[in-house]
Amino acid sequence: MDSAHHLESTEGRHARPSRRRRGVWSGWLFLIPGLIFQIVAVFIPLLFTLVLPFTDWNGISAPNFVGLSNFSEAFGDAVVRQALGNNVEWSIFWLTIPLLLAFILASLLIKVRHGQTAYQAIYFSTSIITVTVTGEIWLWIYDPFSGINSYLQQWGLGFLQVPGLATPSLALLSVLFTAMWRGFGGNVIWLLAAMTQMDKSMEEAARLDGAGWLRVLWHIHLPQLRPTVVILSMLTILSSFQAFDMVFVMTQGGPAHATETLSTYIYHLSITNYRAGYAAAISMLQFAIAVLLIVGYVLLRKTKGWEV
Amino acid sequence: MLRKVNWRHLPLAVVALYALAPMALLAINSFKTETDITYNPMGLPTQWTLQNYADAWTQGDLAQGYINTLLIAVATVLLECLVAGLAAYALSHLNPPGSNLVTGYLFLSLSLPVAFVPLFFIDVKLGLINNYFGVIIPYVGGGFAFNVFLLRAFMLGISKELVESARVDGAGNLAIFARIIAPLSQPAFIIVAIFTTLGTWNEILLANAVLQDNRYRTLAVSYLDFQTQHSTSWSLMAADGVMTTLPMVLLFLLMTKRFISGLQEGGLKF
């Protein structure tokens, strides 16, 4: 019976082959316009990223092939090392303080009956503020003469004054706290969405068996939230290695490269110094990190069988 | 009779204050005079003034900034909704041969970093420096993959029978898209539109590099210029900042629910 049905349907298809065929392939007409934009904006630049590092291109005259010299220069470049270290610090920061804060806030929100949406809206509203304006607000709050520091002075707490952005060792952290103010809300919303989907009966059963909140959190909540936490962490690391906006706005990478990230360095190299080849060699580092992360993530999914 | 208030509101409200206070500070300081702000940087204005707004409007050439930003945002949103919508329809209902390769390719490209250096020099080569399309094309192309997945997820929920019955009635693919798929997917399109607007409004990496001439600067990047010119004038900066962000704040207030549900779905489906 199955084969008879199959026969019939193929016969039907043969009846009007040309029209049917055109109908099947015509779907591509809907894909092509968007793919053209995507290829111009993503794929072609990506190919360039793979080729440019081996050239001395300045963006204007014809490029010369220079072998691996850009890479050897990058390995010896102290600024690259500083910037990479800052990107690592950036991702460690985002994986700890804001994520933990978001987790706590989401755990509190899930137990609140009224105002869930209002709180979420308020927490996310900071992300609406243009990054250049956000930078300005916080430059001001950190400012020794107009911000928090001036109040500490007035209240006789001058010894607590911290010239955050001017001190190389604190500058990056100052930028990070601004970035956190702007970006923590999204994490709260995502974690809360995941928590809302959790199976409540498991928690109730465990509580009846006398499990404390820590055990419930560890054995029941966290395993259910794992897909979200893993994805969130991966996206956080990916974006941390591309951190640009807030640094560019607040410090331009200074003082003395203390807040330089790979992206701000690449930006200055290519726009100000017209060293496209060398800048591309450094951006290949970002590319490699992204690929490593994605491969690691896929492997994790395969070996652990995580349903993400 | 006393209703017991959930203790959780206390920490939640404290964090809400942490989120709102810096914004309130910006708004309040935009109404202060220059001397007021020096002696009283964080309190309420002793005398309210609108002069900062008038000055910032002319000195920052905000009229041109609004025009540029709006043009870029509207063009990006319309193009993105069109091309991502068509593609999502193809990848959810038409499924032409080989389209699963496209799906796979788009998924992979989602997490790759922006290749800024070549993107900038492609614009240079194509003569798109100081041209709106120098940023519009990368914005549309860069957001394409993510938005296709968002729209596709929604369109997969539209019943095949509905589409087939329209086909039987003689409707072509384009007609089906325009009369059935697009109207039914409106909520997803609105989410794409608001997040694309927000993204283009606030983008500075490419806009700052590509739109170099003052006549083409968007609000977000012309704020940087304003900052270097008036670094000491906090009240002027505050007024300019309010005007730069106000349209997005209004959009957010009008569509809070959509923003939040859009984020929730984006987070869950990624």
Residue A11 lies in a domain: no
B156 CA to chain A: closest CA distance, Å? 16
Token reading at B198: 């927000």
Average pLDDT, chain B: 90
Residue B54, in any domain of the structure: no
Q: Is residue B217 predicted with pLDDT exceeding 90?
A: yes
Q: Which of A24, A105, A128, A226 is best to mutate for the B interface (most B CBs within 10 A)? A: A128
Inter-chain residue contact B115 with A46, CB threshold 8 Å:
yes
Comparing A145 with B122, which gets the higher pLDDT?
Answer: B122
pLDDT band of residue A160 (cuts 50, 70, 90) is low
Inside any domain, residue A217: yes
Mean predicted lDDT score pLDDT of chain A: 85
Q: What is the pLDDT of residue A5?
A: 44
Tell if the CB–CB gap between A39 and B260 is shorter than 8 Å.
no
Interchain contact A241–B (C-beta under 8 A): yes
Residue A246 included in any domain: yes
Residues 149-168 of B with CB under 8 A from A: none
- Other Cβ atoms less than 10 A from the Cβ of B108: the count is 12
Separation in Å, CA of B142 to nearest CA in chain A: 6
Contact B229, B205 (CB under 8 A): no
Better-scored residue on pLDDT, B118 or B270 = B118
Q: How far is CA A20 from the centre of its chain?
A: 44
**Which residues constitute the domain of residue A294?**
77-304
Task: Please give the pLDDT value at position B4.
Answer: 74
Assess B65–A contact: CB distance below 8 Å, yes or no: no
A 65-104 residues with CB below 8 A of B? 101, 104
Residue A4: the pLDDT is 41
Does residue A5 fall inside a structural domain?
no
Asked if residue B106 belongs to a domain, the reply is yes
pLDDT of residue A186 exceeding 80 = yes
Q: Is A19's Cβ below 8 Å from some Cβ in B?
A: no
> At residue A32, does pLDDT exceed 70?
yes
In a domain, B36, yes or no: no
Q: How far is CA A12 from CA A21, A24, A26, A243, A251, in A?
A: 13, 15, 20, 57, 69
A30–B89: do the CB atoms touch at under 8 Å? yes
**pLDDT range class, residue B17, cuts 50, 70, 90:** very high
Nearest in space to B47 (alpha carbons), one of B55, B58, B37: B37
Contact A112 B84 (CB under 8 A): no
In a domain, A50, yes or no: no
What is the per-residue pLDDT for A22? 56
Which residues in chain A are contacts of B241 at CB distance < 8 A? 130, 133, 136-137
Domain total in chain A: 1
Question: What is the three-class DSSP state of B186?
Answer: helix
In a domain, B68, yes or no: yes
The answer to whether residue B5 is domain-embedded is no
Instruction: Give the A:B interface size as CB pairs under 8 Å.
Output: 280
Q: What is the DSSP string of B76-145?
A: HHHHHHHHHHHHHHIIIII--TTHHHHHHHHHHHHTSPP-HHHHHHHHHHTT-TTSTHHHHHHHHHHHHH
pTM for the model: 0.88
B32 in any annotated domain? no
B173 touches chain A (CB under 8 A): yes
Q: How far, CA to CA in Å, does B5 sit from each of A114, A116, A196?
A: 10, 15, 22
Express each pLDDT in A17-31 by its tens digit: 444 555 678 889 999
pLDDT in tens, A202-213: 888 888 888 888
What is the C-alpha to C-alpha distance for residues A281 and A259, in angstroms, rounded to an integer? 20
**Looking at the 3D structure of chain B, how many domains does it have?**
1
CATH number at residue A275: 1.10.3720.10
pLDDT at B227 over 90: no
- Nearest residue, CB atoms, B12 vs list A33, A105, A241: A105
Is the model more confident about B260 or about B78?
Answer: B78
Most confidently modeled range among A215-229, B34-48, B125-139: B125-139
Domain range for B221: 61-229
Is the Cβ pair A279, B137 closer than 8 Å?
no
* Phi, psi angles (nearest 5°) of residue B228: -70, -30
A193 contacts chain B (CB < 8 A): yes
Q: Is residue A22 part of a domain?
A: no
**Residue B96 is which amino acid?**
P
User: CATH no. for residue B136?
Assistant: 1.10.3720.10
User: Could you tell me the pLDDT band of residue A2, with boundaries at 50, 70 and 90?
Assistant: very low
- State how far the Cα of B68 lies from the Cα of B136, in Å rounded to an integer: 11
Task: For residues B172 and B178, give the distance between their C-alpha atoms in angstroms, rounded to a whole number.
Answer: 10
* Residue A228 to residue B97, Cβ atoms within 8 A: no
Among partner residues B121, B137, B204, which is closest to A37 by beta-carbon distance? B137
